[in-house]
Structures are given as C-alpha cells and as structure tokens.
C-alpha cells in the first residue's frame, strides 16, 4: 500500500520533470530550433490549430527557421500567428515558404528569459511539493484507517521526502543548464 503511494508519487514527479523539459524547449536561445514554434497556434478556418499540424518546420541554418505550409492558402494565417506570438520574430515569405531569421539575443532579453526559466523551475518545484503533500496525505490516511503502523508511516513519509528532494534538485539542475544555454553568446 505504501509502495503504491510512493510509486504513484514518483511517476507523477517524473511527469512534472518531463513537462518542465517540454516547456523549456519553447524558451528561445540564440540558436534556431523547430521546437521554438511548438506553442504557436494558427487560426485556420475558424479553429486554433497548432502550427506543426499545418506546416513542416525545419532549421536549415543556425539562425534560421523555415516553415513550409502544407497548404499555400494558409501562409497569411501562419504569418499573422507568428507576428502575434511572443517570440519577437518577423516572418518573411516568398509565396511558398516562410523564413524566420533569428537575431542574436540582447543582454536584456537574455535576462528576461532567465527570469522566465526561473519561474518555470519554481512552478515545477511547487508541482513536486504538491505531489509530495498528496502522497504523505495518502500514507497518513492508511495510518488513520489502521492499515499500517506508525513506524511504516514514518518510513513511507521519509521515502516520499527523499523522492521530493531528488526531484526538486533535478528541477534546479535542469534550470541551471537551461540558464547557461540562454546566457551563452
């Protein structure tokens, strides 16, 4: 019973770390990465559609993204969505492709991105702490239902605490790595 609570908590914490890594893929660094456009949605025939369902995105050069729409009629909608996004990139199209030139980041913009990275890390840590709280509560409920002893509860709670510490440390390390990547010139 305790093992089930611990296993569930560990699985949820791993998902929180996966979500943090996924969120970091949309944080712009100095290099072009197709994942930068993962969160861009395009209003296409009245429906918000993810860009990657309407076009292929590639990075042929270190500072350039190329968006190749599957339907040429969607180019104006894709351009509008890219202008609306918070990426700060200006699209240029030649009737078939949309090119996004990625300028080098200014020092001020890098510092803003680092703040965003810190906020994402803190959000992940809060998520881990909430999962910890739920797991400890589940173990405590087993004690109040007299399904486990107080010693088992203490051991289970300690294991959950160790697990939470491991994952908060992992989130901090992932954040430091991303911060280093953002600050790279």
Q: Tell me the pLDDT of the chain (185 aa) as tens digits.
A: 889 999 999 999 999 999 999 888 777 676 777 888 888 889 988 888 898 888 999 988 888 889 999 988 888 899 989 888 877 778 888 888 999 888 777 888 888 889 999 999 999 999 999 999 999 999 999 989 989 899 999 999 999 999 999 999 999 999 999 998 888 76
Crossing angle of helices 107-144 and 150-183, rounded to 10°: 170
Q: Distance (Å, rounded) from C-alpha 5 to C-alpha 137?
A: 10
Rounded to the nearest 5 percent, the helix, strand and coil shares of the chain are 65, 15, 20
Give the architecture-level CATH label for domain 34-101.
2-Layer Sandwich (3.30)
The terminus-to-terminus CA distance of the chain in angstroms comes to 51
Q: What is the pTM of this model?
A: 0.73
Q: Distance (Å, rounded) from C-alpha 135 to C-alpha 125?
A: 15
Which tokens is 2 given? 């305790």
Q: What is the pLDDT of residue 141?
A: 92
Q: Distance (Å, rounded) from C-alpha 36 to C-alpha 25?
A: 6
Q: What is the pLDDT of residue 185?
A: 65
Is the CB of residue 102 less than 8 Å from the CB of residue 32? Answer: yes
Residues 6+ apart with CB under 8 A from 3: none
**What is the fold of 2-25+106-183?**
Topoisomerase I; Chain A, domain 4 (1.10.132)
Q: Tell whether the torsion through CA atoms of 66, 70, 74 and 75 is positive or negative.
A: positive
Q: What is the pLDDT of residue 45?
A: 87
Q: Tell whether the torsion through CA atoms of 123, 128, 133 and 134 is positive or negative.
A: positive
The residues spanned by each domain of the chain are 2-25+106-183, 34-101
């Amino acid at each position: 019973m305790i093992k089930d609570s611990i296993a569930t908590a560990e699985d949820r914490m791993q998902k929180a770390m996966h979500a943090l890594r996924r969120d970091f893929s949309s944080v712009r660094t100095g290099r072009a990465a197709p994942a930068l456009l993962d969160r861009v949605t395009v209003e296409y025939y009245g429906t918000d559609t993810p860009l990657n369902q309407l076009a292929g995105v590639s990075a042929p050069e270190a500072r350039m993204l190329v968006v190749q729409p599957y339907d040429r009629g969607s180019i104006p909608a894709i351009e509008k969505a890219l202008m609306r996004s918070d990426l700060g990139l200006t699209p240029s199209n030649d009737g078939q492709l949309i090119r996004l030139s990625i300028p080098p980041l200014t020092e001020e913009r890098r510092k803003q991105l680092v703040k965003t990275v810190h906020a994402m890390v803190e959000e992940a840590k809060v998520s881990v702490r909430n999962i910890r709280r739920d797991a400890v509560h589940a173990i405590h409920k087993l004690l109040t239902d007299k399904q486990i002893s107080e010693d088992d509860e203490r051991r289970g709670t300690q294991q959950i605490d160790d697990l939470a510490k491991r994952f908060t440390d992992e989130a901090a390390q992932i954040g430091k790595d991303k911060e280093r990547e953002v600050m790279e010139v």
